[in-house]
Amino acid sequence: MNIIVIGCGRVGAELAYRLFKQGHRVTVLDYNEAAFHNLPHDFRGRTIVGEALNQNVLLRAGVEHADGLAAVTNSDTVNAVVAHAVRTAYGLQNIVVRNFDPLWRPLFEVYNLQVISSTSWGAQRMEEMLYHAELRTVFSAGNGEVEIYEVNIPASLHGQPASSLQASTGECRLVGLTRAGKAMLPDADTILETGDVLLVSATLQGIQPLREQLKPQEV
């Protein structure tokens, strides 16, 4: 794939190098030539100095023939405007943008862009890691709005139907269950056993009732 990475800070350099190591043809664009020092010495992609908002610079980067673009500068406005302009002018749909300041998230939503917010995502991961160990995240969609959690069923829930773990809000749904090494698709009537590993999909709000159920009982 031909991929353009706009912004060669720590995130951009890491992304560009990972893509290069996977065999993709990578072009990195940054207005500051010194930023390319962030790239590992064995990076063999193209580097272009220039403003991402300049059409001629984008054309030199090969935007007309690009298969994907990542806008990862530390400017939310630049990321959003460039991504929207490239999609509109060149029809490129495979675009991912970085959200630097969570307060600017609505800007990306207006443009309907795929956005990764490292600040929001990182804070939520840390929040969840501070909770008890009976429940952990194994997959995160978007920026953590919906996640899949792995639940180790304790003895206190042995013999209970799986429906007892679903929030009444409908924001917690059963995904899969592994018992004695064999996976199955559970339904609301599936009876849980101690040691089962249950996968549930939920929002942050929807998982809260389940967290409460899994708290060790006070004696």
Higher confidence at residue 127 or residue 138?
Answer: 138
With 50 as the cut, is the pLDDT of residue 219 above it? no
Start-end of CATH 3.30.70.1450 domains in the chain: 122-214
Dump pLDDT digits (tens) for 57-81. 999 999 999 999 999 999 999 999 9
Please name the fold of domain 122-214.
Answer: Alpha-Beta Plaits (3.30.70)
* Two structure tokens written together for 104: 């600017």
With 60 as the cut, is the pLDDT of residue 136 above it? yes
Tell me the CA end-to-end span of the chain in Å, nearest whole number: 59
Most confident range, picked from 50-64, 146-160, 189-203: 50-64
pLDDT for the residue numbered 88: 93
- Assign 195 a pLDDT band (cuts: 50, 70, 90): confident
- Where does the chain show beta strands of DSSP type E? 2-6, 25-30, 46-49, 68-71, 95-98, 114-116, 135-141, 146-152, 172-179, 182-184, 197-203
Q: Report the mean per-residue pLDDT for the chain.
A: 87
pTM of the model: 0.66
DSSP β-ladder status, 2-6 and 146-152:
unpaired
- Assign 205 a pLDDT band (cuts: 50, 70, 90): confident
* Two structure tokens written together for 173: 């749904």
Q: What are phi and psi of 38, to 5 degrees?
A: -70, -20
d(CA 122, CA 146): 15
Least confident of 16-20, 25-29, 146-150: 146-150
The DSSP bridge partners found for residue 48 are 29
d(CA 153, CA 97): 38
pLDDT for the residue numbered 117: 82
**CB contact set of 84 (below 8 Å; sequence gap of 6+):** 111, 113
Start-end of CATH 3.40.50.720 domains in the chain: 2-116
Least confident of 71-75, 125-129, 157-161, 174-178: 125-129
d(CA 79, CA 97): 6
- 2-116 CATH choice from 3.40.50.2300, 3.30.70.260, 3.40.50.720, 3.30.428.10: 3.40.50.720
